Amino acid sequence: MTAVQLDVAAARSAFPAVSSNSYIFADNAGGSQCLRAVAERVTDYLLNTNVQLGADYSVSVISTNRVAEGVEAARQLLNAASVDEVAFGGSSSMLAENLSRALEADVVEGEEIIVTGEHEANAGPWKRLASRRGLTIKVWNATPSPKTPNNPYSVSLHLETLLPLITSKTRLVAFTACSNILGSIVPVKKVIAAIKAKAREVGARKVETSVDCVAYAPHRRIDVQDWGVDYCFFSVYKVYGAHLSVLYTRAECIKSSLSSLTHHFLSYDNSSLKLQPGGTGYELVYSTTAVPEYLKSLSSAGTLEAGFELIAQHEQTLIRPLLTYLKSKESRGVRIVGEESADPSRVPTVSFVVVGPQKKSSKEIVRTFDQAGNIGIRYGHFYAYTLIEGLEPKIDLADAIVRISLVHYNTVEEVEKIIELLDLALV
């Protein structure tokens, strides 16, 4: 029996930018292309139901229902237990900042927060909270893999380096589900279970977890209930939707840990809306309904789980030839930043540098792609400044790394074109 595979042509047809021209979008970790259905719903809302919510007249009733459908779509993408655990915001950075502000009254001076050196969205708010409230920040750093002794840049997060950081003073652990630089997936459920067990062992007052799912959500199914996570967020515009983001807060935490950021006369004691001061663009919330619909349509089973399984399978066909090529250029000074192996614990976000006597700047490599035209990749630190800064041997932070980030609507033929240009760039 032939294994079921993703119908890439059908998937691409849902994205006008992908299906209407020959441009290769290989900077997807910075923002995916938008579904046609998302854009159509934004337009439909603005042209036909663009009124304030909550009124009794007919158009407002329709508008209110549409926004509620958008919240339900986000609940599905998170697998939250209730829509009351869902809030929207303009960006993941803003939502994480809102979360830190709401948590501020429930921390005690001298407590500790553990963050990772990944994207600053899930670290910066906690650093600022620590500064305001006299807390200590600890960093769970990515460390080299023993499997690749010849590549010091082949780093990832290892549970055994996290657990010693947890003490009786630990209040929160904020980490990424997937690195936007390294491409490696963290076993979130396993990590959270280990955090809770260690917290009980050392007698911590209260330990909660915040997980950045921005680089994870386009590639794998989020399941907040299975994970047992307290807070997590992702950006809809990196999951084929409009430019807004979603925050999950566990029901128990809403009641016991978080203060309201909204007007004093609004009662949101049992809802994540207490972290949503003002309304996010209604048309954008409504357009989110198209995202789970599309992901379900990828599989004949019609479920998010099945859709993401096909995505993961196709992504392996994209990442294998790219990693194989880059590893073959080790003698040329190419070093993959992150795990070198292609397996289901890695997504097709691939970063690298060129070092040694034949060193070539990341900027130069990307320039070759820019000059070729109709293809987009980037270089830089991609807001994972602390991770890049901590790499040894040191690399130039202004030049940083080259990143090629693919998703399921990319094709094997596009990867082959990328490899051809890399051959030119590395001469």
From first to last of its 427 residues, the chain has per-residue pLDDT tens of: 347 899 999 999 999 999 877 899 999 999 999 999 999 999 999 999 999 999 999 999 999 999 999 999 999 999 999 999 999 999 999 999 999 999 999 999 999 999 999 999 999 999 999 999 999 999 999 999 878 888 999 999 999 999 999 999 999 999 999 999 999 999 999 999 999 999 999 999 999 999 999 999 999 999 999 999 999 999 999 999 999 999 999 999 999 999 999 999 988 889 999 999 988 999 999 999 999 999 999 999 999 999 999 999 999 999 999 999 999 999 999 999 999 988 888 999 999 999 989 899 999 999 999 999 999 999 999 999 999 999 999 999 999 999 999 999 999 999 999 999 999 999 8
Is the domain of 241 the same as that of 137? yes
Is the domain of 210 the same as that of 282? yes
Domain end call among 236, 271, 293: 293
Q: Is residue 415 part of a domain?
A: yes
Is the domain of 280 the same as that of 309? no
Q: Is residue 258 part of a domain?
A: yes
Is the domain of 203 the same as that of 333? no
Q: Is residue 278 part of a domain?
A: yes
Is the domain of 262 the same as that of 312? no
Is the domain of 140 the same as that of 266? yes
Q: What are the distances in angstroms from CA 135 to CA 108, 320, 370, 404? A: 8, 43, 45, 37
- Say what the pLDDT of residue 1 is: 39
- Say what the pLDDT of residue 205 is: 97
Domain end call among 262, 277, 293: 293
- Say what the pLDDT of residue 348 is: 98
Q: Is residue 49 part of a domain?
A: no
Is the domain of 236 the same as that of 355? no
Domain of 272, CATH number, reads 3.40.640.10
Is the domain of 81 the same as that of 134? yes
Q: Is residue 42 part of a domain?
A: no
Is the domain of 235 the same as that of 132? yes
Q: Is residue 126 part of a domain?
A: yes
Q: Is residue 53 part of a domain?
A: no
Handedness of CA 346, 350, 351, 357 (dihedral sign): positive
Total count of domains within the chain: 2
Q: For residue 360, what are the domain limits?
A: 8-33+301-425
- Say what the pLDDT of residue 20 is: 78
Is the domain of 110 the same as that of 203? yes
- Say what the pLDDT of residue 307 is: 98
Domain end call among 272, 293, 314: 293
Is the domain of 12 the same as that of 84? no
Is the domain of 22 the same as that of 62? no
Q: Is residue 3 part of a domain?
A: no
Position 218, amino acid: P
Cα 17 to its chain centre, rounded Å, is 22
Domain of 323, CATH number, reads 3.90.1150.10
